Every structure is written in C-alpha cells, then in structure tokens.
Structure 1
Amino acid sequence: MINLAVIVAYLVAVAVIGLKLSGKQRSASDYFTGERSLPWWAVMFSIVATETSTLTVISVPGVAYAGSFSYVELAVGYLIGRVLVAFVLLPLYFRGGFVSAYQYLGQRFGRHLQALASVTFLITRLLAEGVRLFAGAIPIKLLLAEFGVHANYFVIVLAITAVTVAYTYVGGIKAVVWTDFLQMSLYLIGAVVCIVVLLRQTGLGAFATAFDAGKLTVFNFDLPILTSPYAFVTAVVGGALLTMGSHGSDQLIAQRVLSCRSLSDGRKAMIGSAIAVGVQFALFSLVGALLWVNNGGASLARLGLSSDQIFGDFILRGLPVGLSGLLVAGILAATMGSLSSALNSLSNSTIADLVQSWAGRCPAPEVMLRIARWATGVWALVMVAFASMFTTTDNPVVELGLSIASYTYGALLGAFLLGLLVRRADGTAAGIAFVATLLGTGWAAIGLRIGADAKPLAFPWFVPLGVAITLVVGGLVALLRPRREAPVHVAEPAGG
C-alpha cells in the first residue's frame, strides 16, 4: 500500500501548493493571464508540461520500443515552427492586448469567424484532452489491479479531474503555470530514475546493443513520406506546420504565452519550449530503447502488452515499491498539468470569444471572475464525459491525440495566415475557407487512402493540407467578390 500512499500524498500536495502559489484572483484578466506578470521561464515550462501530458510519458517509450528514436525527429520541425510563431503570430497577439488568440480573427474578419474558430477549438480540445485523460487512467488502473482493486476508467478519470479542478477553479492561470512547473520536474526526474535503473540492470553495453539494432536512429529517410509520421520530410515539414497550428492558433498554448510580461519574454518561452520538448522526447525514447534491451528484444506481442502498456508495466513490476508509486505520480502530474491548462483555456475562450464578444459589453471584474470560474467547473464535467468515450489501448494514444488535434489545426492556422497574406479576404471569404478546410481535412482523415496497402495520410500532413485549402479557397473567394477593405473590429480584452 506504500505506492497508493505516495500517490494520495502527491494529489493532496499538488492541490495545496497550487492554491498557495496562485494567490488571490481579482478579475477575469488576472484569472486568465495573471495580469501578464509571469516570468518567461515558468511559462516555458508550463508550455512543455501542457503539451507533454501522459501521451508523451507512456506512449513515446512504447513507440521507441517498437521502432526507434524517430519520434525525436519531430522536435526539429517543432523548433522551426515555433520560431515562425514567435516572430509572425505572437506580435499580433501582444500588439492587440488580447487574452485569446481568436480575438485577432474577430478584429480582422468579424465576430462570426472568431466564434467559429472558438467553437472549433473547444470541440477539438475536448476530444484531444479526452484521450489524454484516458491515457492517464491506464497506469492507475494497472496499479490498483495489483492490489485487487478493479476500478473502471470512468471512476479514475473522475478522481483525477476532481483534484485538478480543486486548484484550477480557484487559482486560474497562476495556479496552472506554477503547478505545471512542479509537475514537469516530477515526471522528468521519473524518466531519469528509470534510465538509471535500467542501466544498472543492463549495463552500459545497452547503448551499443540498442545502436546496433537501430533503436537509437533519429532520422529515417527510407519511410514513405505521405503515410509515415516519422519519415524525415514528414517530421520536419509537417511537424513545423503542426506546431505552428498547435502553438500559434490553439488557445491552449497561446494563453500561456500571453501571460508573459512582454513580447520578448513570450518569444523566449515559445522557442525555449521547443528545445525542452526535444530533450524530453530523447529521454522517454531512451527509456523505450533500454526497455527493449532489458527484455532481450522481445516483441510486444510476445510480452502480451500494447505499446502504451510497456512502460507502465515496467513501472509497476521493475521498480522498487515507493519508487514505482512516485513514477505513477509523475504520470498523474503530466495528466493533471495538461488538464488544468485545458480547463483554463476552455473557460478563457468561452468568456472572451463567445460571451463577451457577443454580449457587446464587459461586466464588472468580479462578475467576470465568477463567470470564469463557473465555466471552468462546467468544462470539467464535460471533459469527464468526453474522456469516457475512449475505452481501448489498441493504438498508441500519442498518435491518436495528435491526429485529433491535427484535423482542425489546418483551418485555425490557415485563417490566421489568410488574414496576414490575403489583404482582400473578408469575413465571408474566411468563413467559407474555414468550413471548406474542415470538410476537406475530415475527408482526408476518414476517406483518403494511399498506396496498394491503402494506408491513411500521416497525421503531420493534415495541417499543411488544411492551410493549403484555406489559402486557396479563401484567396479565390476574395478575388471573385467585389473589392473592399477588410473590416476592422475592435475586440476589448476580457475582464477589464
């Protein structure tokens, strides 16, 4: 029962620490952006913790176990994409004094497109976070089974959400950022501990064994470009545009950066997060490669485990009691970090892009703060319902989570680029292009199959495809419509 005691102690500690560090919130602006007072390094770690989640912690080792270090290759594209976001999109948000990235679309194209983008984000984030929540429940279910407790995924998801809401509801973005920092430290320490334990079991010769077997290969030029997410061109080009969509047009990440003190600090946080993510991918991929060596190269089928279970199984069976509980707490930390960020950004987008934009006025700060907290609680309940939709571990959840988000990132990023690149485009052109992109990307995800073996298009290509559709359709509609100046709608920051 020592493991369970460690986990319970962690859950209580993180809720208390989150509330202590957040301070007293006085307005919706403070609740959502911390009055733009957070240091860039804390925001950087919060970005990393937000995007890492349980998907990275439990899935990337499995990907490396079954394949190689090719997941690290995505980090190259991520760095390129985040540099572009830092110098192309972030100036728009800081110059406008926004608390939501979609307020730019409202200013450029009108509130209808702002609302459409916000609703698209809300639905996408619910689905993607549903996968992340489910992923976090996987090792907890295994641990409880060790003690004869057979809890279903729904109960576990409900418990994780309840603890996360405890500090997110009251503390807002400050609680989210500072607990993200602590939680990221925990799961990174966990990865290093696993590497040390595995090296003690296998010896330093494990590196040579893994290298000879191709497990440490980062760049792969032989995989098919269109159907493999880990082909070099796919990872770099597709990964760059994917991260531009996720970090430039997704409110989940944009909100973190808007909490920085200045544009310069925002750029440091954005670019620094790409480097930190690359290090994380390497650490968790190394765990997977060493697990493969430790198991004598046995296949997942021979072990009777899925790729998402291999790391969790090692935590429970290969680590000493207490330490394994700490590692499971690290997985919980990743889950709670991404969940708290999602709840706060969902509430933010609801208030800034829907309620305030359509109400036409800003209520008193204390009223907005109360509405923001209620929105956080409501989204938490909806999140639990979405997470209950996922009940299988047949495929790597890291790919599933990224695929869900990729379906709409093309439309969101494309709308921003359309506003920057096509001066003649107005709200009508942008709206038609946005809907056409969602339909086109949806068809590519569901109906498009490539080659004799009918493989689906790799998820990093959904964003480039979506951006291309948006620019082509939006540009053509703008050319066919009578020439007019793009409307300018002034959007007031939420919360006063």
Structure 2
Amino acid sequence: MAKVIIAILYIAAILVIGFLAGRNVKTADEFAVANRNIPYWTNVFSMSSAWIGAGSTLGCASMCYAYGVSGFYLAIGVSIGAILASVVFSGKIREENVSTIPELVRKHVGAKCANAIALLSIFSVFSVVASQIRSLGTILQMFVPSLSLLTAIIIMTVVMLIYTVVGGMVAATKTDKLNIGLMVLSVMIILPIVALVKAGGLSNIVETLRTSDPAKLQFGKTVGWGTMISSGLYFGTSGMVNSENFLRVCGAKNAKEARGASLTGTLLVYMPYLLFASFIGFAGSALIADLGTSDSILPAMINQYTGTVLGAILLAALLAAVMGTAASVTILTSVMLSRDVIGRIKPLDGKAMLTTQRICMIVVAALGVIVGYFGSSIVSIMEDIGAPCGAALVPIFCGLFFWKEKMNAKGTLTTIVVAVVATLGYWLLGSPLGISHFLFGLICSTITMFVANSIFYKKGEDKAA
C-alpha cells in the first residue's frame, strides 16, 4: 500500500506543479521554448533532468549488470557526447534563434534538405520517446506488480500528457526541479550505499564475480571492442545533436547561458549520475543472479534490499528520472511535426500552431506506447531507429557551424541520402565489418559531406533558396 500511496503522491505533485506552471501558456513559442526566457539554474537542473532518462538510468545499469565492467562503455560514450554537445554546439544553436533542427537546416541550406532532415529527426527523436515510455511502464510495474506492462505504460503516458499538453516546455522545466532532486538522492546517494552495504564492500563484489562470472571483471571480454567502440561512438556522437535538450538550449536567454547551463549540468549532475547508475548495475550483477531482464536491475534492487517506504521513494525517483526525458522528447517531436511537416503544408497562425502542437503531443505519445511496448530493449530501441538520422546529422551540424562557406543544398542532400542508404544497407547485410550500422553510416556520410559539398559549391550562390 505504501508504494501505491507514494506513487500517487509523486504523480499528483508533478501534475499540480506542471499544471500550475503551464496554465498561462498562450503561444506556440511559450509551449515550445518557454518564450526563450528560461533562467540559468532552472535550465541547469532542467537539462540534467531531460538528459537523465531511460538510457542514463535503466540503460547504464542494465549494461553493467549484463556485461560487468565492459558495460561502462555506455556511460563513457554518452558523457563524451554530452560534453561535446555543450562545448561545441549549444551556444551556436542558441545564436541561430530557431526552435527545431529542420529550422536550422532550412535557414542555411534550403527547404529540400530541411524536409529530409525533418523526417529523419522525427524518426530519431521518436525512438527516444518510445524507449522512455517503455521505461515509465516498467518502473510503474514495480509499484503495482499486478499491472500488465501495457497497462502500466498507458497509465504513465496519460500522466505525462496531462501536464505537458497544457504547459509544454514551461511545465516541463518546473517539474524538472522535483525530478532532479529525487534522481540525485536515489541514484547518486542512497542506492550506491545500499549496494555496497548489502554486498559487504567493493572487494566482496569483485570476489563474488571472480567466482561466479570472471569475464565481467575483464574490460572487453563480455562485449567486443568493436561493439563497445561503435556503440559508444553512436551514443557519443548522436548525443552531440542533443535532441533531449534541443528545446531547452533554444529556450535559454542567450548563447552564453545555453552553453554554460548545458556544460554545468553535464559535469555537475549528468556525468556522475551515469557512472553511479552503471556502478549500481555492476554491483547488482554480484547480488542478484539470473534476473529475467537486465533492464529491471535497479527496480529489482530497490524491491529486494530496501524497506517498503524507502523503496517506494526510490522507485518514485526512477519514475522522475524517466519522466523528464519522456516529456522533453515528446514535446520536441510534436513541435517538429507541427512546425516542420504540417506547418510547411498548411501555414498556421499562432493559436492554430499551439493547438496543432498539443494534438501532435497526443498522437506521438500514442504511437510511442505501441512501439515502446513491442520494443525488446531500451538501448536497442534508441540505437536501431535513431542510427540513420544520427549518421546524417552529426557531419551536417559540424559543417553548418564550422564549414559554413562551403555547405550547400545539393551537397547536404547528397550527404543525407548516403547516410540513410549506407546505414540501412549495411544493417540489412548483417553488419559484415564488425562495426555498428551507425558507425559505418557516419564514416560514409562524413566523407560524402566534404566531397559532395566541395563538388557542388558555387561561390555567391543563395544556399537557402
């Protein structure tokens, strides 16, 4: 009963905070980017909350539970990507004064490229939506085991929609303060202590694994180096595009605050959080053997090693960890759909755009329920669906910001086509070279970007025509 009560209290808290914060949202820009007026420290906590989702929490723990020390590759790759996103792209994105990735592309290389990127971006960000929605259901099941996964997913999706449809990014940034507090308390303080105490210290964890599964203590043994490098590069480089926080970067007061808030959130909260979550999964592999699914290691440890009330609070923290990202990427997908697809077909005024964004939120979330339910793994959902977009966007972003003079519509469109064909074609062939389809596509698209844009470059051409 205590678990149910605390779950209800958490849900009620975010609904009240989100609804009160967002009840006065009247424009499409307020919904999408909080009117480009997010305070610095609010953005630090909000960016941290948005980054810390299923991949950061359940995904990192799952990797280290399943593969031991080799599983830390996920935390390392994602951390590098977040730092690069903060230092290289955040300030420049804010300077562009846009709201979506396709808007940025359209501004520099024209509508055809932007339309292609819109489709890829929507699929890529939607993969994150599906993974977060699945995670919300997985965690709620730990509160109420009698619920089926599908029922749990639907309940949490409805909760997320209630406050985000009303308040958009304004509501999301306000609820993130509650979410980040619960996350830090749970994953960076309480759970590591619980894991160490129950295991009898780090030395006992190592000794247990040395006896039961020594391969988990050897880096590169349970996961091949090629897999670790390519998958780590995927999450690192795709993290540079920063879909979870794109709207928050665009909503910062200026470029300096966008860069500073992103980097501060990464170093102060996000990176340590990834490592702590990974460590908990590593310790869990010594404490709990033969868990049905590695995605459930954190909830399983909470259930098995904490009391009823504390366990319920910690489970609420896991819900909080996923809720912030789920809300962020659902909002972003709906904004791209409404502005970069529907709005391009039929121009919409301010009020109509706001209504369309809210309707798209509901549609995106409903589709996320379907894909999330049938997806087999949190990490695989994110990597498999998002790979073609990441392979296209990373070199294009670098080109737009650091090779702007030579970037042009034909060269960029060629880069997009090569990224998609190479990534999917290599995947259909069974990844014969031993590297991931994303990494293969990224190599091909990067080479193509330089070659094609050089070939098609014409001095003085109106590139955004």
Specify if TM > 0.5: yes
1:270 maps onto 2:262 in alignment = yes
1:207 aligns with 202
* Per-residue deviation, residues 314-354 of structure 1 (Å, max 9, x unmatched): 22232211222222222222232222112211122123323
2:321 aligns with 334
1:417 aligns with 398
1:19 and 1:175 in contact (8 A); partners too: yes
What SS does the corresponding residue of 1:67 show, helix, strand or coil?
helix
Offset at residue 236 of structure 1 (A): 7.0
TM-score, with normalisation over the residues of structure 1? 0.82
Q: 1:319 and 1:84, CA in 2 relative to 1: closer, same or farther beyond 3 A? A: closer
1:167 and 1:175 in contact (8 A); partners too: yes
1:308 aligns with 295
Q: 1:278 and 1:481, CA in 2 relative to 1: closer, same or farther beyond 3 A? A: closer
2:309 aligns with 322
Identify the match of residue 179 of structure 1 among 163, 175, 179.
175
Distance 1:356 1:35 in 2: 19
Offset at residue 49 of structure 1 (A): 2.2
* Per-residue deviation, residues 342-377 of structure 1 (Å, max 9, x unmatched): 221112212332344454x561x3333222222222
2:391 and 2:442 in contact (8 A); partners too: yes
2:418 and 2:444 in contact (8 A); partners too: yes
1:351 aligns with 338
CA RMSD of the aligned region, Å?
3.1
Unaligned runs of 5+ in 1: 491-496
1:493 aligns with none
What SS does the corresponding residue of 2:295 show, helix, strand or coil?
coil
Identify the match of residue 408 of structure 1 among 389, 413, 417.
389
Offset at residue 403 of structure 1 (A): 4.2
1:62 and 1:309 in contact (8 A); partners too: yes
Report the AA paired with residue 441 of structure 2. Answer: G
2:169 and 2:331 in contact (8 A); partners too: yes
1:258 maps onto 2:254 in alignment = no
TM-score, with normalisation over the residues of structure 2? 0.87
Report the AA paired with residue 444 of structure 1. Answer: Y
1:397 maps onto 2:378 in alignment = yes
Distance 2:48 2:83 in 1: 15
Offset at residue 288 of structure 1 (A): 2.3
Number of matched residues?
A: 458
Distance 1:122 1:218 in 2: 39
Q: How does 1:149-160 map to 2 (within 5 A)?
A: 149=146, 151-160=147-156
Identify the match of residue 471 of structure 1 among 438, 446, 454.
446
Q: How does 1:65-84 map to 2 (within 5 A)?
A: 65-84=65-84
Q: How does 1:117-136 map to 2 (within 5 A)?
A: 117-136=117-136
1:367 aligns with 352
Unaligned runs of 5+ in 2: none
1:56 and 1:398 in contact (8 A); partners too: no
* Per-residue deviation, residues 174-233 of structure 1 (Å, max 9, x unmatched): 111221231122133222222333344344xx1223356589x9994778876332x5xx
1:49 and 1:338 in contact (8 A); partners too: yes
1:283 maps onto 2:276 in alignment = yes
* Per-residue deviation, residues 88-111 of structure 1 (Å, max 9, x unmatched): 433443333212232121011111
Distance 2:432 2:226 in 1: 7
Distance 1:168 1:373 in 2: 8
Report the AA paired with residue 305 of structure 1. Answer: G
2:425 aligns with 443
Identify the match of residue 408 of structure 2 among 423, 426, 440.
426
Q: 1:473 and 1:282, CA in 2 relative to 1: closer, same or farther beyond 3 A? A: closer
Distance 1:76 1:136 in 2: 24
Q: 1:186 and 1:82, CA in 2 relative to 1: closer, same or farther beyond 3 A? A: closer
* 328-337 vs 161-170, greater mean Cα deviation: 328-337
Q: 1:179 and 1:72, CA in 2 relative to 1: closer, same or farther beyond 3 A? A: farther
Distance 1:44 1:404 in 2: 28
Distance 2:345 2:113 in 1: 12
Offset at residue 263 of structure 1 (A): 0.7
Distance 1:125 1:34 in 2: 20
Q: 1:35 and 1:415, CA in 2 relative to 1: closer, same or farther beyond 3 A? A: same
Q: 1:83 and 1:132, CA in 2 relative to 1: closer, same or farther beyond 3 A? A: closer
Report the AA paired with residue 35 of structure 1. Answer: N
* 108-117 vs 70-79, greater mean Cα deviation: 70-79
Offset at residue 400 of structure 1 (A): 4.1
Q: 1:76 and 1:274, CA in 2 relative to 1: closer, same or farther beyond 3 A? A: farther
* Per-residue deviation, residues 422-457 of structure 1 (Å, max 9, x unmatched): 744432222222022111112233424457xxxx52
Identity %: 16
1:169 maps onto 2:165 in alignment = yes
Distance 2:287 2:370 in 1: 39
Distance 1:426 1:382 in 2: 35
Distance 1:237 1:331 in 2: 26
Distance 2:135 2:44 in 1: 24
Q: 1:410 and 1:289, CA in 2 relative to 1: closer, same or farther beyond 3 A? A: same
1:36 aligns with 36
Distance 1:489 1:483 in 2: 13
2:107 aligns with 107
Q: 1:219 and 1:400, CA in 2 relative to 1: closer, same or farther beyond 3 A? A: farther
Report the AA paired with residue 443 of structure 1. Answer: G
Distance 1:4 1:269 in 2: 35
* 408-417 vs 219-228, greater mean Cα deviation: 219-228
Q: 1:228 and 1:162, CA in 2 relative to 1: closer, same or farther beyond 3 A? A: same
